[in-house]
Amino acid sequence: MTVRAAVAGASGYAGGELLRLLIGHPEVEIGALTGNANAGQPLGGLQPHLPPLADRVLEPTTTEVLRGHDVVFLALPHGQSAAVARELGPDVLVVDCGADFRLRSAGDWERFYGSPHAGTWPYGLPELPGGRERLRSTKRIAVPGCYPTAVSLALFPAYAAGLAEPEAVVVAASGTSGAGKAAKPHLLGSEVMGSMSPYGVGGEHRHTPEMMQNLSAAAGEPVSVSFTPTLAPMPRGILATCSAKAKPGTTADDVRAAYEKALHDEPFVRLLPEGQWPATAAVYGSNAAQIQVALDTSAGRIIAISAIDNLTKGTAGGAVQSMNIALGLPEDLGLSTIGVAP
Amino acid sequence: MTVRAAVAGASGYAGGELLRLLIGHPEVEIGALTGNANAGQPLGGLQPHLPPLADRVLEPTTTEVLRGHDVVFLALPHGQSAAVARELGPDVLVVDCGADFRLRSAGDWERFYGSPHAGTWPYGLPELPGGRERLRSTKRIAVPGCYPTAVSLALFPAYAAGLAEPEAVVVAASGTSGAGKAAKPHLLGSEVMGSMSPYGVGGEHRHTPEMMQNLSAAAGEPVSVSFTPTLAPMPRGILATCSAKAKPGTTADDVRAAYEKALHDEPFVRLLPEGQWPATAAVYGSNAAQIQVALDTSAGRIIAISAIDNLTKGTAGGAVQSMNIALGLPEDLGLSTIGVAP
Amino acid sequence: MTVRAAVAGASGYAGGELLRLLIGHPEVEIGALTGNANAGQPLGGLQPHLPPLADRVLEPTTTEVLRGHDVVFLALPHGQSAAVARELGPDVLVVDCGADFRLRSAGDWERFYGSPHAGTWPYGLPELPGGRERLRSTKRIAVPGCYPTAVSLALFPAYAAGLAEPEAVVVAASGTSGAGKAAKPHLLGSEVMGSMSPYGVGGEHRHTPEMMQNLSAAAGEPVSVSFTPTLAPMPRGILATCSAKAKPGTTADDVRAAYEKALHDEPFVRLLPEGQWPATAAVYGSNAAQIQVALDTSAGRIIAISAIDNLTKGTAGGAVQSMNIALGLPEDLGLSTIGVAP
Amino acid sequence: MTVRAAVAGASGYAGGELLRLLIGHPEVEIGALTGNANAGQPLGGLQPHLPPLADRVLEPTTTEVLRGHDVVFLALPHGQSAAVARELGPDVLVVDCGADFRLRSAGDWERFYGSPHAGTWPYGLPELPGGRERLRSTKRIAVPGCYPTAVSLALFPAYAAGLAEPEAVVVAASGTSGAGKAAKPHLLGSEVMGSMSPYGVGGEHRHTPEMMQNLSAAAGEPVSVSFTPTLAPMPRGILATCSAKAKPGTTADDVRAAYEKALHDEPFVRLLPEGQWPATAAVYGSNAAQIQVALDTSAGRIIAISAIDNLTKGTAGGAVQSMNIALGLPEDLGLSTIGVAP
């Protein structure tokens, strides 16, 4: 089975990463590539790391251009996906890398995004309980946010096993590509190299309700998340340091056993051997997530740490993984757990 | 008053930063410089950023060499300071940048350092309640650890005002110079550039009891700290993201007022205007600490974030600041709040 | 003598660096600060590393605002300085960090900048032969470009001593702050971290005629320069690798002697001991230049390498150094040779 | 055809990169992995980016361990390959990533390496004139040095077409992985981040004779190379800025035509469209080389610039490419031109 895939928003970082993976996917043929401001330009100057597509010219993001594909990936700014998806019809697999269809609560959407809620699509994090079932044969996939991917993978085993109190504290460091390719002064190399800084502090970041949605579902009770994102001087990668109080009586063995059970068969999530800790460099450019967990008996907290590549497992790789499931292909087709290091 | 100062351990990062500051200190004349493996070498090849001292030759770290100075700075590996200090006599001001004399609890020392406790010296963090009084006219100063400096400055106002529950959660990112100049494979540029990784997770880091000591003193009750340090791809800087549950009834105005009151007159600690967040680049090479605080009403937590330069305010600058107080000099003599940015 | 200084263009990188130095200059009082798009904003959010000026509000760049100062520093885009300078009158010391008045040849100016030549001011590189004399008591100073500073300091001793053939080859790596603070996609942190890339290849860079002007003057004959600039993943610093064929009969001793003679008494330029090579980290934030030179006897070329901080010695520090000379102050007042390392 | 491959030196950077590529090579089965100091350790802690091999344990580098494979890759320190190769017998394909067999001149070897010359093997740079023919059916391959790969690809078209004078000037910037994984103080992250510095200046670098050998062969006359390597603050990548005087009468069209002709059919070397310049980020983790060339008519020089990943095209990828040719496999099997960017 060869599917023909279009990528809307091919000049950005998510679009470029989708193309990097799709070029190597044995069952995908790359169809239309679209851009907005960059329509009419060859891809070679915009994504110089993708020589096989250097001569492809970006088309405008219209229904006419996107029609006639088996799969359409949307890597568009928030709020633009609903209109495009509606026009594409129910037989096309639409994979939305934006936020529009991730949240189940319309109230959360409106509070964090300030616009009407477009709806909820099957959520593309196969590792969550019931995650794969939701994706089989679906024609619509909401790709998770990069932070929620890292945080949910780190904490869901503790919540699914009933080991953690429902108040999580998360501090995550992200590479700058998570902030996109639009030129803003605070994202200049001169500003970010040599600097760590927080943003969206105090529950303001839009990924917060998505994390709570995932962890609450795993826990079977409402879980709050205090989330602080920070910008780190690296192009890619998320390191999420997550913790929650352990429920009374929880032992280090309980914690280890819960994580081994939850992650044992996962093709892309690896619980590291005890004593080894995640590093974003080890998953650079790969679809892998590294996880480690510890029980801080003095503070009474479970500390779970994950490392992912925000553009791969955190966006484009996760999207391809979910597409594979939806299409009935092997889940790891065209994806790798091998990082580019050092 | 001109004081003659020696630096033991002048070839390392703390020693180099001490010299960078002392060269510009108007009341200090630089005396003996010592090293261990590097004794006999000129400083020019070891610290090429300090041309005024390029021709100075390192001497061995002996009592003979260090004797005859008004001030002796010790930038030695943990466990070596006690023997040196004992020989120097009670009239010399000894400023220890190592950990040996920071902890008041012998039990904590032994648990975290595995050796007999050498004692406790006046603690060199003037901003803490009673901090300056402890330092006036003292002849012995224990310079705080870099992480405890960042964390204590971020959280003591909340604890001193009785606004925070006594269980703090801290995730801090440090530049690599905090790990010292000894060549280890995991500190190679090839390994750290492009990577974030945690270490000493689960309460294992030796700076944890020092943070608890400071925050407990501010709170008037025992405060636990769940501390996760991470290594960031930058040479200098600490960004400490600290939080604790707010005590019932605490408002955002209470929090802001407590921080304004605690930090108002501080020459080196700046509570940023609301909406502006700390960045390590802004304090690069300076003795300043930037602080911001928020109340996450959804999660019910106070989030306090600090940025310092680990080598300046976090080590050598803090040492000079405390020396100034001990000697009766203006506290900011030879120190600056101005960072080197971008 | 206290002089009152204004800075036009205070929100950019050159303006910020001027302020960093002027705050610490014992004979300067900082007057008006101006910006264009940022007029009306407090400096604290624009230059967060300069807390002493955080509450100063930027004014528009007009003659009214700039009038009434003893010194006016212009850190404006190319082509805007002439109009401002004309209005300020002949008694004000105007220090132009832009390119407008650097070139002596109107033809070169027009070829590289595409606009009419505004004139030529005394050139602010005191280390060049006759450099200091040109600056004494002047009321107009053209601050050199950052690359020409690095390249001229590296090569003028060879040309002044008649040891090098008049065809120089220069490859220089610059930190990203040299490209300014205007947000452009190719300067994003995501793009520059982990990447080296050239630009302005083939003699196109506007600093090329300025280098040729300086080296030709030193040589007493026309010197061509093949110049390739590259963008390096660091915020600050220039490393210039410069070479030229040695004239027949030149020995390594001749070369060393020429450099020692030319640089011997310079307060800010240091010929490193043999075997030690320049590094940009060693001059980070300092007004120093590190120089080393070698004779490659196999290829018959003199290789001279310099490291400077592009914002300090390469722009703002050089400007203050020249101002000091023009005002009759000690040349090194408010300036330092000490870098912030590591 | 499936070949069984061993990697000697699997814990270093070259070894790790070989494994990253060989895991994905459809005709290679990975056999023994050896180390020296690390023998007995599992690979998971040494190369955490290679989870499929995490449980493989390193064996000592002995003939017994390496025997019985179809291909043996040697990623050993210089001088150790000859003894190993001798024992392996003439039927095993031995691919040496070290320097031992690269040079044809015993005199050059002895001058630069200070030991007896072990011999000369077919040189693994297929793109050079006659390069592929030399490799077909060979049982011994000398993988080129990373710098000679970058420089030879950039300049051989000019020399093969007789357009350049035989005196080349090269300044190249390398990521730190080129210096290996042995922990040395000057390679610490604290030292290299934010810094550019040269080393091996003045013709001292051991890759110089190898460049001269390649370019002289292309030119049909002896070509000298003045080579200055610099260390750049990035983990991977080489940007080589190469130039030589153009022979009289050479036009920009001549130069362009020569490069198009020489590189037209190359699967891994891409002459960029005019106006686009190489960037190391675009070839991160890929086996591609980006090349651009210009004629600086003012200085009369041909400027050729190349970007490669030093570990991929510069070492392990080049090794696999040559192995493919030697085994009669498609040259690009298991290799990619797609970089990981941003």
Closest approach of chain D CAs to the CA of A234, in angstroms?
10
Q: Do A296 and B197 touch (CB under 8 A)?
A: no
Which value, to the nearest 10 degrees, does the dihedral of the CA atoms of residues A74, A53, D307, D241 take? -110
List, for residues B309-332, the tens digit of each pLDDT value: 999 999 999 999 999 999 999 999
Q: Which chains form contacts with chain B, at 3 or more CB pairs under 8 Å?
A: A, C, D
Of the candidates D33, D75, D70, the residue with the CA atom closest to the CA atom of residue D50: D33
Nearest CA in chain B to D47: B191
pLDDT for the residue numbered A326? 98
CA distance readout (Å), D97 to A29, A115, D88: 36, 58, 16
At residue B203, does pLDDT exceed 90? no
Residue C49 pLDDT grade (very low, low, confident, very high; cuts 50, 70, 90): very high
pLDDT for the residue numbered B78? 87
At residue C109, does pLDDT exceed 90? yes
Average pLDDT over every residue of B156-174: 98
At residue C1, does pLDDT exceed 90? no
Q: Which chains form contacts with chain D, at 3 or more CB pairs under 8 Å?
A: A, B, C
Residue C180 pLDDT grade (very low, low, confident, very high; cuts 50, 70, 90): very high
Average pLDDT over every residue of D90-101: 96
Nearest CA in chain D to A176: D342
Which residues have C-beta within 8 Å of that of residue D275, sequence separation ≥ 6? none
Question: Considering D66, D146, D304, D326, which one is annotated as catalytic?
Answer: D146
The Cα–Cα gap between B24 and C75 comes to 28
At residue D1, does pLDDT exceed 90? no
> What does residue B60 show for φ and ψ, rounded to 5 degrees?
-70, 155
C267 touches B at CB < 8 Å: no
At residue C25, does pLDDT exceed 90? yes
Chain D residues within 8 A of C298 when measuring between CB atoms: 203, 208, 224
List, for residues B271-310, the tens digit of each pLDDT value: 999 999 999 999 999 999 999 999 999 999 999 999 999 9
Q: Do A202 and B171 touch (CB under 8 A)?
A: no
To the nearest whole number, what is the mean pLDDT of chain A?
97
Closest approach of chain D CAs to the CA of B307, in angstroms?
18
- CB-nearest to B243 from A169, A195, A232 is A169
Question: Considering C10, C76, C82, C146, which one is annotated as catalytic?
Answer: C146
Closest approach of chain A CAs to the CA of B76, in angstroms?
26
The Cα–Cα gap between A232 and C96 comes to 36
Chain C residues within 8 A of D281 when measuring between CB atoms: 191, 194-195, 197
Average pLDDT over every residue of C191-210: 94
List, for residues A163-173, the tens digit of each pLDDT value: 999 999 999 99
pLDDT for the residue numbered A208? 96
pLDDT for the residue numbered D8? 98
Chain A residues within 8 A of B241 when measuring between CB atoms: 171, 198, 228, 230
pLDDT for the residue numbered D78? 87
Starting at the edge strand found earlier in the chain, the sheet holding C301-308 runs C197-198, C224-231, C164-174, C238-246, C301-308, C289-296, C269-271
List, for residues D264-276, the tens digit of each pLDDT value: 999 999 999 999 9
Nearest CA in chain B to A205: B296
Greater model confidence, D214 or D82? D214
Q: Which chains form contacts with chain C, at 3 or more CB pairs under 8 Å?
A: A, B, D
Interface test with D, best of B181, B188, B231 (most D CBs within 10 A): B188
Chain A residues within 8 A of C177 when measuring between CB atoms: 190
Interface test with B, best of C21, C49, C269 (most B CBs within 10 A): C49
Chain B residues within 8 A of D190 when measuring between CB atoms: 13, 175-177, 179, 181, 187, 235
The Cα–Cα gap between C215 and C223 comes to 6
What token pair was written down for B33?
């410089």
What token pair was written down for D322?
């040559």
Average pLDDT over every residue of B28-46: 96
Nearest CA in chain B to D49: B191
At residue A75, does pLDDT exceed 90? yes
At residue A79, does pLDDT exceed 90? no
Residue C79 pLDDT grade (very low, low, confident, very high; cuts 50, 70, 90): confident
List, for residues D169-192, the tens digit of each pLDDT value: 999 999 999 999 999 999 999 999
Q: Do B276 and C194 touch (CB under 8 A)?
A: no
Per residue in B113-143, is it b (16+ CB within 10 Å) or e — as a string? Answer: beeebbebbbbbbbbbeebeebbeebbbbbb
Nearest CA in chain A to D194: A194
CA distance readout (Å), C164 to C161, C251, C272, C295: 8, 11, 20, 11
B234 touches D at CB < 8 Å: yes
At residue C76, does pLDDT exceed 90? yes
- CB-nearest to A196 from B173, B199, B298 is B173
> What does residue C78 show for φ and ψ, rounded to 5 degrees?
-55, 140
Residues 156-195 of C with CB under 8 A from B: 177, 181, 193-194
CA gyration radius, chain A: 19
Residues 2-41 of A with CB under 8 A from C: 13
At residue C203, does pLDDT exceed 90? no
Q: Of all residues in chain D, what percent carry a pLDDT higher than 70?
A: 100
The partner residues of C164 in beta bridges, in order of sequence, read: C246
Instruction: Enter the ipTM.
Output: 0.97
The Cα–Cα gap between A98 and A142 comes to 8
Residue B79 pLDDT grade (very low, low, confident, very high; cuts 50, 70, 90): confident
pLDDT for the residue numbered C188? 98
The Cα–Cα gap between C321 and C255 comes to 28
- CB-nearest to B228 from A300, A303, A307 is A303
Q: Of all residues in chain D, what percent carry a pLDDT higher than 90?
A: 96
To the nearest whole number, what is the mean pLDDT of chain D?
97
pLDDT for the residue numbered A202? 86
Closest approach of chain C CAs to the CA of D205, in angstroms?
11
Average pLDDT over every residue of A20-43: 96
Residue A16 pLDDT grade (very low, low, confident, very high; cuts 50, 70, 90): very high
Q: Where are the alpha helices (DSSP H) in chain C?
A: 13-23, 43-46, 63-66, 81-88, 106-113, 131-135, 146-160, 189-192, 208-219, 252-263, 317-327
Residue A78 pLDDT grade (very low, low, confident, very high; cuts 50, 70, 90): confident
Catalytic positions of B: 146
To the nearest whole number, what is the mean pLDDT of chain C?
97
Closest approach of chain A CAs to the CA of C13, in angstroms?
9
Q: Do A191 and C189 touch (CB under 8 A)?
A: yes
- CB-nearest to D201 from C169, C235, C305 is C305
The Cα–Cα gap between B147 and B150 comes to 5
List, for residues D209-258, the tens digit of each pLDDT value: 999 999 999 999 999 999 999 999 999 999 999 999 999 999 999 999 99
> What does residue D231 show for φ and ψ, rounded to 5 degrees?
-100, 125
Catalytic positions of A: 146
Other C-beta atoms within 10 Å of B23: how many?
Answer: 17
Cα-to-chain-centroid distance, residue B206: 14
Residues 201-230 of D with CB under 8 A from C: 201-203, 208, 224-226, 228, 230
Chain B residues within 8 A of A300 when measuring between CB atoms: 167, 224
Average pLDDT over every residue of A49-67: 97
Chain A residues within 8 A of C179 when measuring between CB atoms: 190
**Cα A302–Cα A308–Cα A309 angle in degrees, nearest 5:** 160
Q: Do C197 and D301 touch (CB under 8 A)?
A: no
Average pLDDT over every residue of D150-158: 98
List, for residues C156-167, the tens digit of each pLDDT value: 999 999 999 999
The Cα–Cα gap between A32 and A8 comes to 8
Closest approach of chain D CAs to the CA of B187, in angstroms?
6
pLDDT for the residue numbered B117? 95
Of the candidates D271, D316, D281, the residue with the CA atom closest to the CA atom of residue A16: D281
Of the candidates A6, A18, A21, the residue with the CA atom closest to the CA atom of residue A64: A6
Residue B196 pLDDT grade (very low, low, confident, very high; cuts 50, 70, 90): very high
C240 touches D at CB < 8 Å: no
- CB-nearest to A295 from B195, B202, B284 is B202
Average pLDDT over every residue of C235-239: 98
Nearest CA in chain B to A168: B299
Residue B194 pLDDT grade (very low, low, confident, very high; cuts 50, 70, 90): very high
At residue B265, does pLDDT exceed 90? yes
The Cα–Cα gap between B138 and B141 comes to 7
List, for residues A163-208, the tens digit of each pLDDT value: 999 999 999 999 999 999 999 999 999 999 999 999 999 888 999 9
